[in-house]
Amino acid sequence: MTHTKTKKFYGHGKLLLTGEYAVLDGAKALSIPTKFGQSLKVASIDDEKTQITWESYTVDNEKWLSYDSTSLQQTEENKMLEKIIAVIKDLNPSAFGNKSYQFKTQLEFNRKWGLGSSSTLLYCLSEWANVDPFVLLEKTFGGSGYDLANAGEDKAIFYSKKDNKASWETLDLKLPMQENLFFVYLGKKKNSREAIAHYRESKSTEAFIQRVSDLGTAFSEAKDLKTIQGVILEHETLLSERLKTPTLNNGIFADLNGAAKSLGGWGGDFVLIATELDKKRLTDYINNKGMETIFSYDEMVYKK
């Protein structure tokens, strides 16, 4: 008689409010958990077949990944999944044992949004397998790891990574002007590895890293719309000079009544808009630019 045990895990999505790119060089970055995350269910079966099956579902309950360890799978997604499984086995040889496993993941957000489909997956898997999530990240996708830290927290965090060691602290982020803050999806997903490679084409100075860190603190302490708009514009200008890339405010949002800020790889994913416009008028504005997805601060940010 076989016995089946099921365990459940969950990770929050994330948005990086300040410190994009610079967090890779040790800058203090401010990030928030989102109301949208990813869940993982793991069923272990005592049958000694040691078979692994996997199903991943989109927010619309459409299966986007299917894997079976007993058959040859050659998609890029399955190759990465096999790599992740191999790393977990290397980090914790007892994680799987002489059992079969059925994995099922469920996203609560559109995969294209860049809210952390990979980081929430690695976080949940590391919780299940009892392995260091940052080592798992380093040996698979790579990156700073702020998203992994965010996945397990229910508050905003200040995150930094120095000498390959991650550290962070939670904070009660209370922004008095939050009714003036909106998150808009630009309509295209940014490849993180390509964005990082572009950033690495030149070197950061200590002054640059320190100023980005200071702007994260200034953002968290802003008391009114004008102040936070000023922080956004300075942060954008600083990164623009470093990346040799125009800011949103000098590009697609040049005619915006407000300030816009990239929240990840420049040119894709979500942006933050701080404006006096209400949601309806801002929605009309972005619709005219071919964008459709917009959330208020309260609709996006997780609060316990």
| Kind of pairing between the strands at 52-57 and 100-107 | parallel
SS (H, E, C) the chain: CCCEEEEEEEEEEEEEEECCCHHHHCCCEEEEEEEEEEEEEEEEECCCCCCEEEEEECCCCCEEEEEECCCCCCCHHHHHHHHHHHHHHHHCCCCCCCCEEEEEEEECCCHHHCCCHHHHHHHHHHHHHCCCHHHHHHCCCCCCCHHHHHHCCCCEEEEEEECCEEEEEEECCCCCCHHHEEEEECCCCCCHHHHHHHHCCCCCCHHHHHHHHHHHHHHHHCCCHHHHHHHHHHHHHHHHHHHCCCCHHHCCCCCCCEEEEECCCCCCCEEEEEECCCHHHHHHHHHCCCCCCEEEHHHHECCC
Tell me, what's the pLDDT at 2? 66
Average pLDDT for 58-86: 91
Report pLDDT digits (tens) over 291-304: 999 999 999 999 88
pTM exceeds cut of 0.85: yes
The answer to whether the CB of 134 falls within 8 A of the CB of 145 is yes
pLDDT-derived band at 64 (thresholds 50, 70, 90) equals very high
Please check whether residue 270 is in contact with residue 185, taking contact to mean a CB–CB distance below 8 angstroms: yes
Lowest mean pLDDT among 110-119, 135-144, 194-203, 204-213: 194-203
| pLDDT digit string, tens, across residues 169-222 | 999 999 999 999 999 999 876 667 777 887 888 889 999 999 999 999 999 999
Query: pLDDT-derived band of residue 92, with 50, 70 and 90 as boundaries?
Result: very high
pLDDT attached to residue 192: 73
> In 3D, which of 147, 114, 151, 121 has the Cα closest to residue 293?
114
Separation CA 286–CA 58 (nearest Å)? 25
> What mean pLDDT value characterizes the chain?
94
Residue 75 has pLDDT above 90, yes or no: no
Total length of the chain: 304
The two tokens of residue 180 are 């003036």
Gyration radius from the chain CA atoms: 20
Q: pLDDT tens digits for 14-51?
A: 999 999 999 999 999 999 999 999 999 999 998 878 89
Whether residue 95 has pLDDT greater than 90: yes
pLDDT score of 248:
94
Question: 74: pLDDT confidence band, cut at 50, 70 and 90?
Answer: confident
Q: Does 1 have pLDDT greater than 80?
A: no
Indicate the Cα dihedral angle 192, 110, 16, 301, nearest 10°: -170
Q: For the chain, which domains are there?
A: 4-171 (3.30.230.10), 178-300 (3.30.70.890)
**For position 71, what pLDDT does the model report?**
83
Residue recorded with tokens 């309260």:
298
For position 266, what pLDDT does the model report?
Answer: 86
Distance of CA 177 to the CA centre of its chain: 24
Count Cα atoms within 13 angstroms, Cβ side, for 56: 17
Span 5-19, average pLDDT: 97
233-291 pLDDT per residue, tens: 999 999 999 988 999 999 999 999 999 999 988 887 899 999 999 999 999 999 999 99
Which pLDDT score is estimated for 190? Answer: 65
